[in-house]
Amino acid sequence: MRQEFEKDHHHTALDRLFRYAEFLKFGEVHIKFDHATGLRAIIAIHNSKRGPALGGCRLVHYATSDDALEDALRLAHMMSLKAAISNLPHGGAKAVLLLPSHEIHDRKKYMEVFAGFVQDLNGRYITAVDSGTDTSDMNIIATITSYVSGYATANDDGNPSPYTGFGVRRGIEAAVKFRLGKDNLEGIHVAIQGVGHAGYALAKELHAAGARLTLADVNQPMLERCAAEFGATICPPNAIYDVVADVFAPCAFGSILNLETIKRLRVPIVAGSANNQLAHQHYSVVLREHNILYAPDFVINSGGLIYCAAMYAHADPAKARIQVGGLYDTLMTIFNRSHLENRSTSEIAEMIALEALR
C-alpha cells in the first residue's frame, strides 16, 4: 500500500494524493491553516457509508507535509476497516495536526480553532484522542463542538486506553487458545514493546491474568515503574525482538514488522496495540510462513474506538467493555478462517471488514 505514495519526479504531490486516494477508495480531505495559532490541520474522511466518520486527532511532528497527508489517508482508511469489523455505526476518518517547529504558545486557543474546523464539517467527522493529544484537549474541543468523544464527564474520565488494553488482552487470550491450546494466560510470557498509554494498560491486564512480562521502552522512569508494579523483566529497546516468549506485543509505533525483525522473532504469536505494525502488507504472509500467528492490528486494537463510539452515543461504558470482550470471538473467527482458507490473518480480516463496508 505504502509504495503507492512513493515520491517520483514525474508527478506533483497533488497527482500522488489523487492516485493514493483512488487506491484507498476515498473520500474527502479537508485542510485548514490558522496564522494566529500556527494550526496546520488535515482531516481525511475515508468513508461515511455506515455513519459519521470517527477517528482520533494526532498532533505529531512530520518531516514533510506529504508525509502528514499520507499518514492521514492511511490511518483514515484503517479506521473505516476498524469500525466496520466491530460493526460500529461509523465510517473512518483521521485528523492530523502538524506539530509546529516552535512551541504552541496557547494550546487552548489552538484546540479551539481545530474544534471550529471540526464543527464546520457539520458532523461528518467526529474527533477523539490519538498520539500527541489527550483528554484535556478533548475537554477544550467539547466546549466548541459536540462532534467529539473521549472527554471527561461526571462519571467517566474519557480515556480510551484501558479499553484498548483490555481488547488486546482478549485478543492474546484468543491467540493463546488457538495456537497453544491454553484456556488462560497463567504463566504465559509476553514481551511488550512500549509501555505508554496502551502498553501500560495491557501490562496491567496481563499481570492480573497471571502472565509473565518482559518490557522495553525508551522512557526509563516509566519502564522502571512498570517493572516494579508488575514484577516484570526489563530489556533494552532493540533486544525486544530477540526475547524467547509466547507472545510479542508491539505497543509503541508502526512499521516494526519487516523482513529483518520477523527473522529475529522467537515467539509463536504477535499480538499488540500498535497501528500499522506491518511495514508492508505482504509481511502478514511472511509471518505465516514463519509459523507466527499474527493478530491483525486494526482488529485487536479496536477497543479504544469501540469505547469512543459508545461514549459519543452516551451509552453505558460497561456495555462498551462487554463489546470489547467480544474481540476474542472476532479474532478466533479470523484465526480459524485463515487456517481453513490458507490465507494470512490480515487478508481474512480485511475481507470481513470490506464486506461490512459494502
Q: How far lies 351's CA from each of 70, 85, 327, 356, in Å?
A: 23, 10, 17, 9
Output the smallest distance, CB 307 to ligand NAD, in A.
8
Binding span for ligand NAD by CB under 6 A among 33-41, 268-276, 286-294, 343-351: 268-276
Considering only 52, 92, 194, 296, the residue that binds ligand NAD (CB under 6 A) is 194
Instruction: In whole angstroms, give the CA distance from residue 128 to residue 148.
Output: 6
Longest dimension (CA), the chain: 59
Instruction: Indicate the residue among 126 and 274 with the shorter CB distance to ligand NAD.
Output: 274
Question: Is 177 tagged catalytic?
Answer: no
Q: How many residues in the shown chain lie near ligand NAD by CB under 6 A?
A: 26
**Cβ of residue 149: shortest distance to ligand NAD, in angstroms?**
12
Strands 39-47 and 91-98: antiparallel
Asked if 127 interacts with ligand NAD (CB under 6 A), we say no
When binding is defined by CB under 6 A, the residue of 46, 197, 204, 207 that contacts ligand NAD is: 197
Cis amide bond preceding 181, omega within 30: no
* Distance, CA of 225 to CA of 246 (rounded, Å): 23
In angstroms, what is the minimal distance from the CB of 167 to ligand NAD? 9
Write each residue from 88 to 117 as x if it is in contact with ligand NAD (CB under 6 A), else as -, in one continuous string: ------------------------------
Q: How far apart are CA 47 and CA 84, in angstroms?
A: 10
| Active-site choice (94, 177, 182, 204) | 94
Give min distance, CB of 22 to ligand NAD, in A.
25
Helix (H) or strand (E) holding 285: helix 283-289
Closer CB to ligand NAD, 52 or 304, in the complex:
304
Q: What is the DSSP string of 128-171?
A: -B-TT--HHHHHHHTTT-S-B-S--BTTB----HHHHHHHHHHH
Q: How far apart are CA 60 and CA 70, in angstroms?
A: 13
> What is the per-residue binding string for ligand NAD in 215-254, x denoting contact by CB under 6 A?
-xxxx--x--------------x-------------xxxx
- Give the pairing of strands 91-98 and 53-54: parallel
CB nearer ligand NAD, residue 43 or residue 113: 43
Closer CB to ligand NAD, residue 176 or residue 198? 198
Give yes or no for residue 167 binding ligand NAD (CB under 6 A): no
Q: Which residue has the cell 475537554?
A: 139
First to last CA, the chain: 20
Contact 298, 81 (CB under 8 A): yes
164 binds ligand NAD (CB under 6 A): yes
Kindly list the catalytic residues.
94
Residue numbers at the binding site for ligand NAD (CB under 6 A)? 131, 160-161, 164, 193-199, 216-219, 222, 237, 251-254, 273-275, 301, 304
